[in-house]
Structure 1
């Protein structure tokens, strides 16, 4: 077999070029720390890298959304706590106000403090989150959901929707609560009905605590009552009741519901109980109304108005008792929202912990696919450098060999 000199030269050059290419690839791996620098290094591995990077980027975005949602909900929770504290202060002042020993100046001072609380509530109701979005406007773009008119009346310009943030694939969480349910549409009275003394009463009758004692009887009576009752007092505490249609209220036997009230007693019929105190005059009334709503700002307005000079102790006590019921309902709504916000924060924390664990797993998987084993790469680099040097030396020797040199 004949081997030409040119063939040997070409074979040696090809071998050295191949070794130089391998050495260059290994040097690139060592310097970059990555096994795959271009897709051609490992097409299958490159596909895995693209997929893993996409998942990691998605989880990073969800984590950022969770951080933002957590900040917003923490801000809302803090604001709701402050609002609850303000209502506690209003409650304390209302209880102080019914003290019969207070002077007109004392009551005026309490009214001034209630006015300050009202202003604070409006300010807190218009609070914003860390991005400047109102906490209680729903999804409305308005920056001031609670507007104050020239006469002091407060209106809500937001909507009843909740802002949502995506915290996972197909998973969203509410990051705000509409203000209508928190501040405006508060059920009057005990939540089922409101019992109040007639504005023209001349006796000392005070309506106290009231409640539904038999829910089934109460619910069945509402259909025929027209949504309310009027209790009218006669001489010596005798009373009778008519429904909203002006018809006498009948018991299960078809007899008119009547009774006699004594100071400190109560009136019960159709599944409800109304505690009373004081002495009614003939013709005094107590009204029972269902389905009423009252915003917290009106509640404070009513308290302030009742504290103005000219109101009797009985009138003041009746007004304050009803407004205290409204504060109870408002705080109940706030407490329910606080519980809901706390639940959402727990969900966010659990989801964030899940993403933290997943991120470690995905980063480890990405490292396994993409990153080079430094020890192996450096060892390969040393071996390849040695092999290339040997090839260069051998080529130099082969190149210098010829027949003429042998004849010499």
Structure 2
């Protein structure tokens, strides 16, 4: 076949341009040692690099999350440790005040110091991080977790939500510690109460403390089923305990109810997980201890639920709730919302009680009409001061006293320390019982703090372990990307030399062949 001169030139030029482009591409590859610059260089390899790049970006984000979490947990641990140190000092003060030789002046000084510790602990509980977020408020990072109530107690305004960050494929860790976990679940050891029923006027001869929960498992299993109990003194050396049905359960008391009649002796009576401090105070002229002690009696029961009730800021009237009391235990147990309630007046006298929070589709759990100044709903009677207006709302949160935050514990200790007792043996014995309860709750709060610190430590170990895993994955990812993307310098230089040689040969061949044209023969 014959090839025209024009066709030959076009074909040769195209081949030369193609070889030239390859040489240029290989020259660039030799300079950068990068084999894949665009997807056209290696479609399959480019796809793998894209996936590896996504994994690499995720690993970088995991590293950032881990560093952020470590910083947050470190700050939380430091804060909890500081709270623990403050509570240890409060315990030392409580022990010093309860040593039997402190005076009223000493106790007032101790009260002032514990008051300072209470404010210090409150400040630590409301600590913020570098971004201004509250450490222990859960997901409500812009809300102070603890605030004082009008009655001197403190309420938790945070929630129980954890803020989770991813630290590995399918693995997250909580970056926060909620106040609910660190402070609100502190077991309240002083959740029982006693009340003298005989004689009608307390003669001070028998002092029985409010009691502390010494063995929680026994208390939870047995105590509630038989309350209220009656503790009767048959003599100065024997007491009797009967349950709500009148059954004699004295056999479950320590020493089967045998007590000592030693004057002023601080002795312990344990019953169904509750430890009671008992003092017998014989007076001058009490020649027959059995006769003067027999007939004394007390009721023993769990502390009834109390309520923190406040008016809503949008109320039109100035009416307030002055007290909230359980008046029908069965109705209360059945209907009162455990998570809080909202008392809403539909008129000056009619009202509905809702479970909090109230939404558009909420339905009342109880309704009624005021009788005098009282509104009774779901077994709870609310005393209203001032006439309400339709639309007024009051928020009520119940407290079952199973738990008690340490701020309230310190508050009770401050009250006890500020109460004068010098020269009053009975008052002193009651004070000692109050201090024993406070010291027990400080120990309980310290244990709760320890659990929170342990949780932080466990998460820290998980972060360290995952850091090691992520570093290994990062190294493997980098090596794999390099094997796909990077060139072998020796192979590239060999290929470049070959292509440059072929390009030079093509130039020489083209020059020789073009000299064979007919035009050269004219």
TM surpasses 0.5 = yes
Aligned twin of 1:16: 16
Aligned twin of 1:289: 302
RMSD, aligned α-carbons: 3.3
Q: 1:111 to 1:267 in 2, by over 3 A?
A: closer
Q: Structure 2: how far apart are the matches of 1:197 and 1:168?
A: 58
How far 1:219 moved relative to its partner? 5.5
CA contact (8 A) 1:12 1:395 kept: yes
Aligned twin of 1:183: 183
Q: Secondary structure at the match of 1:241?
A: strand
For residues 80-119 of structure 1, the aligned pairs below 5 Å read 80-119=80-119
Q: Structure 2: how far apart are the matches of 1:201 and 1:132?
A: 57
- Does 2:60 align with 1:60? yes
Aligned twin of 1:329: 444
- Give per-residue Cα distances to partners, 1:231-284, cap 9 Å, x unaligned: 3546524423244x484543579xxx7533353544344x44636464346447
For residues 385-400 of structure 1, the aligned pairs below 5 Å read 385-400=500-515
CA contact (8 A) 1:162 1:176 kept: yes
Aligned twin of 2:269: 267
Q: 1:334 to 1:232 in 2, by over 3 A?
A: farther
Q: Secondary structure at the match of 1:336?
A: helix
Indicate the larger mover: 124-133 or 110-119: 124-133
Match of 2:456 among 341, 353, 358: 341
Q: 1:212 to 1:384 in 2, by over 3 A?
A: same
CA contact (8 A) 1:239 1:261 kept: no
Aligned twin of 1:221: 222
Q: 1:205 to 1:41 in 2, by over 3 A?
A: same
- Give per-residue Cα distances to partners, 1:124-145, cap 9 Å, x unaligned: 1112344433221122243311
Q: Structure 2: how far apart are the matches of 1:196 and 1:170?
A: 54
Greater RCO (Cα-Cα under 8 Å, separation 6 or more):
1
How far 1:333 moved relative to its partner? 1.2
Q: Structure 1: how far apart are the matches of 2:440 and 2:193?
A: 10
Q: 1:18 to 1:83 in 2, by over 3 A?
A: same
Q: 1:251 to 1:149 in 2, by over 3 A?
A: closer
Indicate the larger mover: 383-392 or 319-328: 383-392
CA contact (8 A) 1:162 1:177 kept: yes
Q: Structure 1: how far apart are the matches of 2:496 and 2:441?
A: 81
Q: Structure 1: how far apart are the matches of 2:468 and 2:80?
A: 26
Higher strand share: 2
Aligned twin of 2:410: 300
Indicate the larger mover: 297-306 or 165-174: 165-174
How far 1:369 moved relative to its partner? 0.8
Q: 1:167 to 1:325 in 2, by over 3 A?
A: same
Runs of at least 5 residues in structure 2 that lack an aligned partner in the other structure: 197-201, 283-292, 304-400, 422-426
Indicate the larger mover: 125-134 or 2-11: 2-11
- Give per-residue Cα distances to partners, 1:43-101, cap 9 Å, x unaligned: 11111111111121122222222222222122212211111111111101111111333
Q: 1:252 to 1:148 in 2, by over 3 A?
A: closer
Q: 1:87 to 1:232 in 2, by over 3 A?
A: farther
Q: Structure 2: how far apart are the matches of 1:194 and 1:337?
A: 27
Q: Structure 2: how far apart are the matches of 1:144 and 1:219?
A: 33
Aligned twin of 1:212: 215
Q: Structure 1: how far apart are the matches of 2:203 and 2:73?
A: 48
How far 1:304 moved relative to its partner? 1.2
How far 1:160 moved relative to its partner? 2.0
How far 1:225 moved relative to its partner? 1.1
Q: Structure 2: how far apart are the matches of 1:303 and 1:275?
A: 18
Runs of at least 5 residues in structure 1 that lack an aligned partner in the other structure: none
Q: Secondary structure at the match of 1:99?
A: coil
- Give per-residue Cα distances to partners, 1:207-250, cap 9 Å, x unaligned: 6986339x56x555335313x5453546524423244x484543
Using structure 2 for the length normalisation, give the TM-score. 0.67
How far 1:351 moved relative to its partner? 1.3
Q: Structure 1: how far apart are the matches of 2:102 and 2:233?
A: 30
For residues 358-397 of structure 1, the aligned pairs below 5 Å read 358-397=473-512
CA contact (8 A) 1:195 1:210 kept: no
Q: Structure 1: how far apart are the matches of 2:203 and 2:460?
A: 51
Q: Structure 2: how far apart are the matches of 1:323 and 1:232?
A: 27
For residues 108-187 of structure 1, the aligned pairs below 5 Å read 108-149=108-149, 152-187=152-187
